[in-house]
Chains A and B, each alone.
Chain A
Amino acid sequence: MMTGMERFGALMSGGTPDRVPIVCNLLDQGARELGLSILEYYSRGEHVAEGQLRMREKYGYDTLTGMFYSALEAEVMGCRNIIYADDGPPNVGHLVINAPRDIKRLHVPDDLNEHPRFRELTTCIGLLKKEAQGRFPVLGVVTASFSLPAMLMGVGPWMELFLNGDPALRDELLETCSLFCSRQIAALREAGADLIVYVDPLASATFIQLKKFRELALPWIIRDLEAHGPAGVIFFNGGGRINPILADIREHAGIGAYYLNPYDDITEARALLGSNSLIAGTINDIRLIDWSPDEIEREVEKIMLAGKRAGGFIFGTLLMPCGIPEENIRALVAAAIRHGHHAESVVCR
């Protein structure tokens, strides 16, 4: 049997692993695992690393997610209030940008590890890397420069600025966010992240039309990845549909792996991308809250069928809500293992 790392390695070198690798993005669930409140859980990188390791061990999927919550990026950029819930992810509770002059005041630390919470994050990634012993890829997660302003000023004001606002101000903000993004990629890689999940929902077809994407978002994807390069980067939909923008990203930013939305068609994505890119197909994980194990099985089978036909395939989830019962997570992984075996390896057995 291959390890998660070997499965990813096989895919990335154009081969076929024993089965489709499985990504399960469980985050806040780790707190429950450790019997901690979400606030306590995220206060220490050790806790989060422990939570991630236990959940991977318990359910048997192939990756470790080195992420706390998106709002952490806003914290590093100056957000002073994070709202915690008992049963869901922490959220931004203070907007850093309330007026144009706030954009000019934004500051990206040279060393992101100077920020205590970011240091917990890199500590967590370091621990995951060490404990994984090369068996499971550690995912680092960054928000794209084009999406980050949503957390700094609110989605509405950001849309207003990039659609109909002052282009100079918009570019100044994106410039800062892009610097932050590239520094973050470097810091997460240095801490031990094997792959970088690049999250850009504001660039998705759910938010903006293709024309706007090309004009406003694509240049910043290219820019964010300039220093690091596209190798080892996975473009993540973040909840928006991305099929309409795949071909452009592939051609101009050179990213080699695309993590689709549950509503993006896998076969279509393969046709758009050509044969050389990896595709992660996702299950609509909000449905996992109340689907029966049988329904989960059928859904996984459908995704796997399309995925195996497409080739170069990874199976994944979006950001799994806390309300998903444990037995459904088990049913999901079991079904993904069952239906993820490649025909060849089934024959070999």
Chain B
Amino acid sequence: MSEGIDKQILDSYLTALFDTDKAGALRVVQEALDGGLTPEQVVFEVIIPGMERMIGGMISDNLVTLSQHFLASQIAEEVTDRLIPLFATVPEVQGHVVIGTSHGDFHGLGKKIVIGCLKARMFQVTDLGINVAPEKFVDQALEVGAEVIGISSMMVHTATGERGPKRVRQLLREQGLEDRLRIIVGGAPYRFHENLFREVGADAWGDTAAEVPGIVARLVREVRS
């Protein structure tokens, strides 16, 4: 497949994402497959660049909206789930993340968007659901052999509360696990306060889901090195 056609496919995919047109985006994906692109090409040259275009603005000067994050991630998850089994070789898993919303927080959308983005980037993700106790984050991370714990919060009190990320940090410390596990946090309050992640004891935070795979990749490298 020539460069030119790829670019055209990517452009139509981006246009559909920009317009939050799900049917349109899925049509582009199908046409690409029908036109001879391999499943790997579709994931790595259409879906992932589509997601990453959102970091720093899909079209320059334009705020990327949450509805665009939502759609890009939804499609990424659907399409990669469908296409990975069709890959010629099994893709290398980039790392393993357990993720959930903090204790007392019942808002699962941010987490869901993050999961889609991570999966498209070949991370293995264990979804712990909503309203997750701090002990469960740690226990589950150990059980599945994750490198990273992701904690999503929509409100200040669930981000900074005593049963939130702070407690997860404390548990890691008490159990001598700080070398083996990194904590990444995200959600609305952190977007209003870029240092809040430090105060809650996290190693990193993600402003938008699109940038999470890059940050998680760094955390995984730290743990593995």
Binding site for B on A (CB under 8 A): 83, 85, 87-89, 91-93, 154-156, 159, 163-164, 205-209, 211-212, 239, 241, 244, 262, 284, 286-287, 289-290, 321-323
- Interface residues of B, count at CB 8 A: 33
Q: Which of A156, A163, A290, A323 contacts B22 (CB 8 A)?
A: A163
**Complex Cα–Cα for A89 and B154 (A):** 12
Q: In the complex the two chains form, is B156's CB within 8 Å of A156's CB?
A: no
Q: In the complex the two chains form, is A323's CB within 8 Å of B63's CB?
A: no
- Chain A binding site: helix, strand, loop or mixed by DSSP? loop
Q: In the complex the two chains form, is B21's CB within 8 Å of A205's CB?
A: no
- Tell which of B71, B104, B195 has the most Cβ of chain A within 10 Å: B104
- Tell which of A89, A91, A209, A284 has the most Cβ of chain B within 10 Å: A209
**Complex Cα–Cα for A159 and B113 (A):** 13
Given A88-B157, A323-B157: A212 and B109 interface contact (C-beta under 8 Å): no
Q: Which of B68, B104, B158, B160 contacts A209 (CB 8 A)?
A: B68
**Complex Cα–Cα for A241 and B191 (A):** 12
**Complex Cα–Cα for A297 and B155 (A):** 25
Contacts of B62 in A (CB 8 A): 209
Chain B minimum-CB-distance residue to A91: B106
Give, as a whole number of angstroms, the nearest-CB distance from B11 to chain A: 17
Q: In the complex the two chains form, is A155's CB within 8 Å of B157's CB?
A: no
Q: Which of B63, B66, B157 contacts A321 (CB 8 A)?
A: B157
Can you name 19 A-B residue pairings with CB atoms under 8 Å? A83-B104, A85-B104, A88-B156, A154-B108, A155-B109, A156-B70, A156-B108, A163-B22, A207-B66, A207-B67, A209-B67, A211-B19, A239-B188, A286-B196, A287-B192, A289-B156, A290-B199, A321-B189, A322-B156
**Complex Cα–Cα for A212 and B66 (A):** 13
**Complex Cα–Cα for A289 and B156 (A):** 10
Binding site for A on B (CB under 8 A): 18-23, 62-63, 65-68, 70-71, 104, 106-109, 112, 155-158, 160-161, 188-189, 192-193, 195-196, 199
Q: Which of A212, A290, A322 contacts B67 (CB 8 A)?
A: A212
Q: Which of A88, A92, A207, A286 contacts B158 (CB 8 A)?
A: A88
Given A93-B106, A290-B199: A209 and B65 interface contact (C-beta under 8 Å): yes
Contacts of A241 in B (CB 8 A): 63
Q: In the complex the two chains form, is B155's CB within 8 Å of A89's CB?
A: yes
